[in-house]
């Protein structure tokens, strides 16, 4: 597409509590702007004074609610509705790209409030839940306004199909592959036989406890093995029931900057993803491969799909620390195997580079705006009648 677009993006989750959706949207917006498109992104923001992106428009403070095994920070209500409408009215957008419109937050409000070209991306993967099943008939007339639907994985597509009986084109999450290829090994982090884990480590579904149990097994064959743990969380909640010998093999690095994240992948012999559930894609695996790290991941569907059944990384039985230890011991003990896995992973990671992924999204945009005259504000009464399914 040669035409430069005015794109309105809507994020349902708190912008200053980064998660997979927010990172996806930030990097996609930055890529589009680097290509000459104009992007305005509406999001809930807790601390407007700390906001660094001039193209992010704060819509108000989010409220935390439990969702899909984690805490989602969302924004709904009359004030949020008013701000959504003001943003649409002043934006003069060629199209809206809204994310997770089935969540009761800004994206749903935007879908109700707007007429014209709209594309939605669905990220979540979850079993059919009674609450979603109950509100599905209410949301369906609203989601019918969408010109195109994108799912970030086959699991996300299946979730959309089960809950709302509608289809989507699968376009994966994107990464800036070059950013991770430029990382450097940190000698203060690395020693031979180093494994790495990155994520919100005190969330049980992220599976760090499985990796730690596996660490003790690995140490029986590789006495100098260590585990680097990066990301937010309370260390003591993780370490309180662990013996001192295993504790001494674990180093917590805290939150990492993007530059430090690239260095992290260069400073480990393999990346461990022991996640138990709640993942619909696994962007961290693509990032780790782009950084040259061999992958050891649980065989949950999202990871198995991304790694193509183990072609681009070792899969272990979910929640089995013994199987994890067996796979990790083999990889840590074989330098040639690690080199081969690294090279194959680096090549495969380019599949997820924004240059490729954004081009696919632009193709969807082109279909959505064909013959359209841009985004307009829907009649307030008509929009809410749709939401009430009247």
Tens-digit pLDDT profile for residues 149-165: 999 999 899 988 888 88
Verify that 49 and 133 share a domain, yes or no.
yes
User: What are the residue ranges of helices labelled H in 35-105?
Assistant: 78-91
Verify that 115 and 135 share a domain, yes or no.
yes
Verify that 361 and 306 share a domain, yes or no.
no
pLDDT of residue 135: 56
- Ramachandran quadrant class, 7 (left: phi over 0; alpha: psi -120 to 50; beta: rest): beta
pLDDT of residue 281: 87
324 occurs within a structural domain: yes
Verify that 261 and 370 share a domain, yes or no.
no
Q: Where are the beta strands (DSSP E) in 22-147?
A: 38-43, 56-58, 63-67, 70-74, 95-99, 114-115, 118-122
Verify that 74 and 197 share a domain, yes or no.
no
Verify that 149 and 252 share a domain, yes or no.
no
Q: Which residues contact 119 (CB under 8 A, 6 or more apart)?
A: 95, 96, 97, 98, 146, 147, 148, 149, 150, 361, 364, 365, 368
Verify that 223 and 87 share a domain, yes or no.
no
pLDDT of residue 136: 62
Verify that 164 and 240 share a domain, yes or no.
no
pLDDT of residue 163: 82
- Ramachandran quadrant class, 309 (left: phi over 0; alpha: psi -120 to 50; beta: rest): left
- Which of these, 136, 185, 126, 197, lies nearest to 157 by C-alpha position? 126
* Regions of the chain short of the pLDDT cut 50: 130-131, 133-134, 388-390
For the stretch 30-81, pLDDT in tens is: 999 999 999 999 999 999 999 999 999 999 999 988 766 667 899 999 999 9
Grouping H, G, I as helix, E, B as strand and the rest as coil, residue 160 is: helix
b/e map 275-312, b = 16+ CB within 10 Å: bbbbbbbbbbbbbbbbbbbbbbbbbbbbbbbbbeeeeb
328 occurs within a structural domain: yes
Cα–Cα distance for residue pair 361/24, rounded to 1 Å = 12
Verify that 323 and 252 share a domain, yes or no.
yes
We report the CATH number of the domain holding residue 182 as: 3.40.50.2000
1 occurs within a structural domain: no
pLDDT of residue 130: 46
pLDDT of residue 187: 95
Domain that holds residue 290: 178-351
305 occurs within a structural domain: yes
Cα–chain-centroid distance for residue 335?
31
Verify that 130 and 159 share a domain, yes or no.
yes
Q: What is the pTM of this model?
A: 0.85
Domain count, the chain: 2
Verify that 222 and 337 share a domain, yes or no.
yes
pLDDT of residue 141: 82
Verify that 96 and 207 share a domain, yes or no.
no
């Amino acid at each position: 597409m040669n035409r430069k677009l005015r794109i309105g993006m809507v994020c349902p989750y708190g912008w200053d509590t980064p998660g997979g959706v927010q990172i996806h949207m930030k990097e996609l917006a930055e890529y589009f702007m680097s290509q000459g498109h104009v992007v305005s992104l509406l999001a809930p923001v807790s601390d407007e004074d700390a906001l660094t992106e001039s193209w992010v428009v704060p819509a108000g403070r989010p409220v935390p609610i439990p969702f899909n095994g984690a805490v989602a920070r969302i924004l709904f209500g009359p004030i949020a509705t008013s701000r959504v409408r003001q943003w649409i009215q002043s934006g003069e957008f060629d199209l809206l790209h809204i994310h997770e419109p089935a969540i009761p937050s800004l994206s749903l409000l935007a879908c109700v409030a707007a007429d014209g070209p709209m594309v939605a991306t669905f990220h979540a993967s979850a079993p059919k839940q009674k609450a979603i099943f109950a509100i599905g008939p209410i949301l369906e007339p609203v989601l019918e306004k969408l010109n195109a639907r994108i799912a970030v994985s086959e699991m996300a597509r299946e979730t959309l199909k089960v809950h709302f009986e509608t289809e989507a084109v699968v376009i994966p999450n994107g990464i800036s592959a070059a950013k991770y290829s430029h990382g450097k090994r940190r000698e203060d982090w690395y020693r031979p036989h180093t494994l790495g884990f990155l994520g919100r480590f005190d969330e049980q579904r992220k599976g760090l406890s499985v990796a730690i149990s596996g660490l003790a097994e690995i140490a029986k064959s590789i006495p100098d093995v260590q585990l680097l743990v990066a990301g937010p969380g309370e260390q003591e909640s993780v370490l309180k029931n662990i013996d001192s010998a295993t504790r001494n093999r674990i180093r917590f690095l805290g939150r990492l900057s993007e530059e430090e994240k690239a260095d992290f992948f260069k400073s480990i012999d393999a990346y461990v993803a022991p996640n138990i559930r709640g993942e619909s894609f696994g962007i961290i695996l693509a990032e780790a491969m782009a950084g040259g790290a061999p992958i050891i991941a649980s065989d949950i569907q999202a990871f198995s799909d991304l790694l193509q059944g183990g072609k681009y990384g070792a899969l272990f039985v979910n929640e089995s620390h013994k199987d994890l230890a067996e796979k990790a011991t083999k990889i840590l003990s074989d330098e040639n195997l690690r080199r081969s896995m690294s090279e194959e992973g680096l090549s495969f990671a380019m599949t997820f580079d924004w240059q490729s992924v954004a081009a696919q999204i632009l193709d969807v945009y082109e279909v959505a705006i064909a013959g359209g005259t841009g985004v307009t504000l829907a009649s307030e009464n008509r929009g809410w009648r749709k939401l009430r399914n009247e």
